Structure 1
């Protein structure tokens, strides 16, 4: 990686079954500051493990999840379906 480059980790599906509670801290210890999860509940769980991380939810901003997204400092990924 180049100097000053940032990298992010995708840890959806419980870090592909490896255990996000073990994998994410190991990645953070090696410099990852940004993480991507698929669903809101994964983001909430990851927030408990990594309170300072930037966490994005790939399934975007679902109706009714506003309070939870804000309470856990999660960021939705903007997405749209193509027809």
Structure 2
């Protein structure tokens, strides 16, 4: 019985991730509406969790960072020289 619960949670979580990736604008509107509804009910912690993050850069959905911090410099990879 517990296996079915675990599988159901994983399937629902996967569906939400795909929904956010495939339909970013619809997902934002949906989660904003859910957040406002939870806020009206007095569930402030859940409303804060459901509220979508502000998008920065190219508009979201592409996987780029939405933080203001610059990307850390990557070190150049040098080949190993065997003598």
TM-score by length of 1: 0.26
Between 1 and 2, higher relative CO (CA 8 Å, sep ≥ 6) is seen in 1
Q: Which has the higher strand share?
A: 1
Q: Which has the higher helix share?
A: 2
